[in-house]
Amino acid sequence: MKVAIAKERQTGEARVSASPDSVKKMVSLGMTVAVESGAGNGASFSDAAYKEAGAEISKSAKTLLADADVVLRVARPEADEVGDCPKGTLVIGQMNPYQETKKLEALAKQGLTVFALEFLPRISRAQAMDTLSSQANLAGYKAVIDAAAEYGRALPMMMTPAGRINPAKIMVMGAGVAGLQAIATARRLGGRVYATDVRPAAKEQVESLGAEFVAVEDEEFKAAETAGGYAKEMSDAYKKKQAELISESIADMDMVITTAQIPGRPAPRLIDEDMVKSMRPGSVIFDLAAEGGGNCALTQPGKMATKHGVKIIGYQNVPSRLAADASMLYANNLFNFLSLLYDKESKALKVDWEDEVVKGTLLSRDGALVHSRLTGRAEETETTSSTEKASEKGNGNG
């Protein structure tokens, strides 16, 4: 069975879908692995390192894909990028399924069997395959590091003969995977950290990391969680009270990290222009939801802008800013997923199409889209979809 690792061709994408270590694991199971020359350069993985791990190095994408059984990707390829793949080839990666349905139809028409790891079911045995969480964890860390680099002051309290430096006050909005890592990182850097989240259960997680929880903790808030641990919709009256509290809190912050995203929908607006105006000159906002339009009204996706004396960072694809570590974790996620589809005895693909993980992530097969969320066959239910729930719990960047 041949596994192909091609270069990522999206602008600004430095990650790669396999590391030398994951190649070694695949080869040890009897897979043949071919890597396009230069595929790992952005993540500091050389062709020599892949070759030493047991991979073949292909000089061209056409040669690489001509007889591939599986293609591993970081992001969804354009149809012409995988046009040389045989029909039935498995293409596995993050496919941006909500925004790119037409382009996914094109892949389906080429006869490719496409899996989107964004749709991975939230079950225990799938945790090691969870690319959203592995990448969000690094994004939360990097957001604090980048914000600190732009902040013109020290973060920890310092007592010196020349005077005292007070600790920076840092607000993290959203206590999911990215948010919790942002809290932990800000604490390690010596900041005084505050955090807010719509779920009562988040309070204990926030406080366990040494941060102060900010929320209107009335009776409605205490009941604002389903039996499954997901957020309920709050009343307009509560939303108003919470917004007032957050507005007051933000005015006293030196740095704010926002992390709220909902798959398939615009990012929720958490910070308006008046809140930005209320912050001290030199303060920094890092908006991890920039790709969804931003949690801040003044965010410019892909850029850093200064508005009302406040630096607002809207960098996109933040995990790619830590390409080596992000690629290593992502490659392990893909290896664990691929192992589910592979039979070690026959050394060939053996897909259980009824497996919950397979059914949950399969987008196209036999020339057509098959996932219910893309074909319109999904029924509306009282609860949100598993991926949307994951975002509310923070398994995306939220």
Tell me the three-class secondary structure of 49-62, residue by residue: HHHHHCCEEECCHH
308/282 Cα distance (integer angstroms): 9
Longest dimension (CA), the chain: 73
Q: Under 8 Å CB-to-CB from 149, ≥6 apart: which residues?
A: none
Residue of 67, 84, 122, 339 marked catalytic: 122
Which entry of 50, 230, 238, 342 is annotated as an active-site residue?
Answer: 230
Q: Which of 50, 69, 94, 130 is catalytic?
A: 130
Place of tokens 């900041």: 191
Catalytic residue among 133, 249, 327, 391: 133
CA 173 to chain CA centroid, Å, is 16
Among 27, 8, 24, smallest CA distance to 16 is for 8
CB atoms near residue 255 (< 10 Å): 27
Across the chain, the runs of DSSP E, i.e. the strands, are 2-5, 32-36, 56-58, 70-75, 90-94, 113-116, 158-160, 163-165, 169-173, 192-196, 212-213, 255-258, 284-287, 304-307, 310-313, 342-343, 348-349, 362-365, 368-369
To the query of whether residue 269 is one of the catalytic residues in this protein, the response is no
Give yes or no for a contact between 393 and 229, defined as CB atoms under 8 angstroms apart: yes
Would residue 133 show up in a list of annotated catalytic residues for this protein?
yes
Q: Is 37 a catalytic residue?
A: no
Catalytic residue among 10, 37, 127, 385: 127
In our burial notation (b when 16+ CB lie closer than 10 A, e otherwise), range 45-79 reads: bebebbeebbbeebeebeebbeebbbbbbbbbbeb
Q: Is 321 one of the catalytic residues?
A: no
* DSSP string of 321-342, one letter each residue: GGHHHHHHHHHHHHHHHHHHTE
Say whether 352 is catalytic.
Answer: no
Catalytically annotated residues: 122, 127, 130, 133, 230
